[in-house]
Amino acid sequence: MNQFIEQIIYGIQLGSIYALIALGYTMVYGIVKLINFAHGDILMMGAYFGLLSVTLLDIPFGLAIVLSMAVCAVIGMLIDIIAYKPLRNAPRISALITAIGVSLFLENIYRVMFGAETRKMVIPTSLTQTIAIGNIKISYVTLLTVFLTIICMVALQLVVKKTKVGKAMRAVSEDQQAARLMGVNVNLTISMTFALGSALAALGGVLYSVTYYQVEPYMGMMPGLKAFVAAVLGGIGIIPGAMFGGYALGLIENLAKAYVSSSWSNAIAFGILILILLFKPAGLFGKNVREKV
Amino acid sequence: MILKRVSAIAISMLMAVSMAGCGAKAPSNEGEGASVATNGEGTIKIGLITPKTGSVAQYGIAVDNATALAVKEINEAGGINGREIELISYDNKGDATESINLFNRLVDNDEIVALLGPVISSNALAIGPLADEKGIPMITPTGTSLDITPGYDYVYRACYTDPYQGSIMAKFANENLKVKTASILYNTGSDYSVGLAEAFKETFEAAGGTITNYEGYTADDKEFKAVLTNIKAGSPEVLFIPDYYNTVGLIAGQVKEVGLDTIMLGGDGWDGVQENYGELVEGSYFVNHYAADDTAEIVKNFVDNYTEMFEGTRPNAFAALGYDATKILAAAIEKAGTEDKAAIKDAIAATDMDCVTGHVTFDENGDPQKSVTILKMKDGVSVLETKVQ
């Protein structure tokens, strides 16, 4: 029984990181209908900035997280302005190809700048401790990951539901033309969305590198892909869907590893995705919208 | 078609000329003995193929450096039978196709007598059959894949094979650590990892031990807590993790996190774990080709000379093997006393000498039979634990 609870906890930890990244995918898709394949690489950059600010600037870990999120938010906006904005009215496939290009560009520029070798993340010693609840040991990294993720999700919900920016976001995602007519600054709103999504990915990146000790230029690929799957699973474009999808994927993956087979876990996770999409093509939280003729 | 024939004729002429050269040189050299200084074409050309750029560059550079050191030492001591070695070194970027092109260039244009390299197994597997076909004696310093040598008379290696170190580790666990239960966690996507894991399992079970868990993972897995929790339930005395140091560091950290209390064991891929993950693998043992803190004369000299020549860089196992491969080849050429490639090949097969990585003799496949060094992680550094024969 203890072992089962431990497996669930590890699944939640993994799911938290997927959920953080999935939120960025889903927000960007919701507002510009673009699958931003460079999102996983924002996670990678977040991890590098976290590592660099701890080693070079010698600032406390908490501050490093905030700095990394801020820098990535700016980079996210820049990527949108430089790469995606000129293609706003182009066919969707062009923007998609551009996103893949941006992803490859970022991976390779980081490889050139920092080398291909894996660097070890600096982890504050306080985080490597564990606390025992009954017979179950939980590390502080796990607690911190779950805690920060939940805070960010609540904050994001508040921003989207209660603030003016959030209202503008919802308006733009519903109908860009109408929102523009109502006086909403569409481009600024889209930039804000990229900034928010990228900041969450940066947080995910720092937490991911603390959980798995390592930072390297291609580290964003696999979690990026998994988070994309999580976003689709929950219904892409829907914020609670991304959160649910992230946790569901993390749990399924971990339980498959624990009770079926480690080498089959990815196949099982993606297999379940295919099954769900067969029955609910718009994702678990999505609504089937009929095309108007 | 015509072009092909022309180039075939050109190549055969080149080969004829080079062979004539060999035939003419060898006796004159034998006659004049060691007092002869290098005459016009008096150098002995040895080819070297290593990856000096690309993702495995650090391995290639270590071998390249060590080979340069060995050649320098040999030439300063008067060369081979009075003739200097000329090392012709090319960068294959770790790529198999590139390796084949370079091999052809070394044989056709540079007219080498023998070849050192390549460094990684996949490259060695590509070149081995060609070297055998053309009759070029070849020693790969570090290609550990089982299939490199069997069936190819001209192909040798300076390192031991993957299964060999896996079974040595099992023997060490059984006889030195006296443990009866072990778990294995291996990478299903890597021939190296699978080879070690299978050999460990077989030897450990044959010695009466029990494998509590035999778990695989895929190459890009980062999350091991689930599978480690399962392993913990079997409470094995040792955990064998045959993979490269970055993955080992990742797993070792999670071993601590899930509270798995066991001794970790590993193969030569662990070399490098000391730099970043020393405290995570404290108390673990791993197989290596040599120990830098070995007090044997030959090892000390090698470490000192290497560190001096390359400004403070410590030699790793790749360097030690590159150095040994060069010394074995040079000794064989000296013993053959000629540039006849078949004679050099036979001389390599008859090798019986002390090297940095142990006393080397070759079996019928061309694999070295030598002692295996086992290192222990102590206070963040690796120290020599024992040598297992």
Q: Do B226 and A258 touch (CB under 8 A)?
A: yes
In the block, residue with structure tokens 């009215």: A89
Find the mean pLDDT for residues B335-358.
92
B41 pLDDT band (50/70/90 cuts)?
Answer: low
Percent of residues, chain B, with pLDDT higher than 70? 89
pLDDT for the residue numbered B39 = 39
Question: B291-319, pLDDT tens digit by residue?
Answer: 888 888 999 999 999 999 998 888 988 99
- Tell me the average pLDDT of chain A: 89
pLDDT for the residue numbered B33 = 38
Find the mean pLDDT for residues A98-103.
94
Q: Do B223 and A253 touch (CB under 8 A)?
A: yes
B37 pLDDT band (50/70/90 cuts)?
Answer: very low
pLDDT for the residue numbered B2 = 47
Q: Do B229 and A214 touch (CB under 8 A)?
A: no
Name the residue in chain A with its Cα closest to that of B188. A263
Find the mean pLDDT for residues B135-164.
92
The alpha carbon of residue B223 is apart from the nearest alpha carbon of chain A, in Å, by 8
Of A14, A116, A139, the CB nearest to B223: A14
Q: Which two tokens stand for residue A209?
A: 């590198």
* B39-160+296-370 matches B163-288 in fold: yes
What is the secondary structure of chain A as a DSSP string?
-HHHHHHHHHHHHHHHHHHHHHHHHHHHHHHH----TTHHHHHHHHHHHHHHHHHTS---HHHHHHHHHHHHHHHHHHHIIIIIGGGTTS-HHHHHHHHHHHHHHHHHHHHHHH-SSPEEPP--GGGG-EEEETTEEEEHHHHHHHHHHHHHHHHHHHHHHHSHHHHHHHHHHH-HHHHHHTT--HHHHHHHHHHHHHHHHHHHHHHHHHHH-EE-TTTTHHHHHHHHHHHHHH-TT-HHHHHHHHHHHHHHHHHHHHHT-TTTHHHHHHHHHHHHHHH-TT-TT---PPPP-
Question: B329-344, pLDDT tens digit by residue?
Answer: 999 999 998 889 999 9
Question: A70-85, pLDDT tens digit by residue?
Answer: 999 999 999 999 999 9
pLDDT for the residue numbered B380 = 84
B107 pLDDT band (50/70/90 cuts)?
Answer: very high
pLDDT for the residue numbered A58 = 85
User: What is the Cα–Cα distance from A145 to B212, expressed in whole angstroms?
Assistant: 32
The alpha carbon of residue A209 is apart from the nearest alpha carbon of chain B, in Å, by 10
Question: A221-232, pLDDT tens digit by residue?
Answer: 889 989 998 998
Residue B22 has pLDDT above 60, yes or no: no
Find the mean pLDDT for residues B150-176.
91
**A120, A143, A218: best to mutate for the B interface, most B CBs within 10 A:** A120
Which residues of chain A have a CB within 8 Å of the CB of B225? 6, 10, 254
pLDDT for the residue numbered B118 = 94
According to DSSP, residue B270 is labeled: G
CATH homologous superfamily for the domain B39-160+296-370: Response regulator (3.40.50.2300)
A260 pLDDT band (50/70/90 cuts)?
Answer: confident
The alpha carbon of residue A255 is apart from the nearest alpha carbon of chain B, in Å, by 7
Query: Please, which residues bridge with residue B288 across strands?
Result: B373
Percent of residues, chain B, with pLDDT higher than 90? 54
User: What is the Cα–Cα distance from B351 to B360, expressed in whole angstroms?
Assistant: 7
ipTM, two decimals, is: 0.77
The alpha carbon of residue B227 is apart from the nearest alpha carbon of chain A, in Å, by 5
Question: B241-250, pLDDT tens digit by residue?
Answer: 998 888 898 8
**A185 interfaces chain B, CB cutoff of 8 Å:** no
Name the residue in chain A with its Cα closest to that of B226. A258
For chain A, how many residues are written?
293
User: What is the Cα–Cα distance from A235 to A229, expressed in whole angstroms?
Assistant: 10
A194 pLDDT band (50/70/90 cuts)?
Answer: very high
pLDDT for the residue numbered B25 = 39
User: What is the Cα–Cα distance from A271 to B213, expressed in whole angstroms?
Assistant: 26
Question: B207-247, pLDDT tens digit by residue?
Answer: 999 999 999 998 878 889 889 988 998 899 999 999 888 88
Name the residue in chain A with its Cα closest to that of B277. A120
Which residues of chain A have a CB within 8 Å of the CB of B222? 212, 214, 222
pLDDT for the residue numbered B99 = 93
Residue B194 has pLDDT above 70, yes or no: yes
**A260 interfaces chain B, CB cutoff of 8 Å:** no
Residue B23 has pLDDT above 90, yes or no: no
- Tell me the average pLDDT of chain B: 86
What fold does the segment set B163-288 form as a domain? Rossmann fold (3.40.50)
**A140 interfaces chain B, CB cutoff of 8 Å:** no
Give the residue extent of every domain in chain B.
Answer: 39-160+296-370, 163-288
Residue A6 has pLDDT above 70, yes or no: yes
What is the secondary structure of A185-221 as a DSSP string?
-HHHHHHHHHHHHHHHHHHHHHHHHHHH-EE-TTTTH
The alpha carbon of residue B233 is apart from the nearest alpha carbon of chain A, in Å, by 8
Find the mean pLDDT for residues B274-290.
87
In this prediction the pTM is 0.75
B251 pLDDT band (50/70/90 cuts)?
Answer: very high
A284 pLDDT band (50/70/90 cuts)?
Answer: confident
Question: A26-65, pLDDT tens digit by residue?
Answer: 999 988 888 899 999 999 999 999 999 998 988 888 899 9
Across the A:B interface, residue pairs with CB atoms under 8 Å apart total 67
